Amino acid sequence: MAHPHALINPAMLRWARDRAGLDVSAAARVAGVQAEQFQRWEDGEWQPTFRQAQQIANGLHAPFGYFFLSQAPIDEPLLPDLRTVGGMPVGKPSLNLTETVRHALQRQAWFVEYLQEQGAQPLPFVGRFNTTSHVAQVAQDIRAVLGVDIEQGASHWEPHYRHLIEAAERAGVLVMRSGIVGNNTRHKLDVAEFRGFAISHPLAPVVFINASDAPSARLFTLLHELAHVWLGSSGVSNAAPGNTRHEEIFCNAVAGEFLAPSELFAKLWPLASPDLGTRVAELAHRFHVSRFVVIRRALDLGLVDHGTYSAFYRAELDAFRVAEGGGGSFYRNAGAKNSPRFARAVIAETFSGRLLLREAGRLLGVQPAQIRDLAQQLGT
Express each pLDDT in 314-368 by its tens digit.
888 887 777 665 455 555 566 678 899 999 999 999 998 898 888 988 888 888 8
pTM over 0.95: no
- Give CA–CA dist 123/141, Å, rounded: 13
Strand order, beta sheet including 174-178: 174-178, 206-210, 196-199, 235-237
Average pLDDT, the chain: 85
Distances in whole angstroms, Cα of residue 60 to Cα of each of 78, 170, 171, 282, 343: 19, 38, 38, 48, 28
Per-residue pLDDT, 349:
92
pLDDT exceeds 70 at position 24: yes
| Side-chain half-sphere CA neighbours of 289 within 13 A | 28
Per-residue pLDDT, 203:
96
Residue-range domains of the chain with CATH: 10-68 (1.10.260.40), 84-323 (no CATH), 330-378 (no CATH)
Label residue 1 by pLDDT band (50, 70, 90): very low
In degrees and rounded to multiples of 5, residue 226 shows phi and psi of -65, -35
Element (H or E) spanning 342, and its range?
helix 340-351
- Give CA–CA dist 336/236, Å, rounded: 19
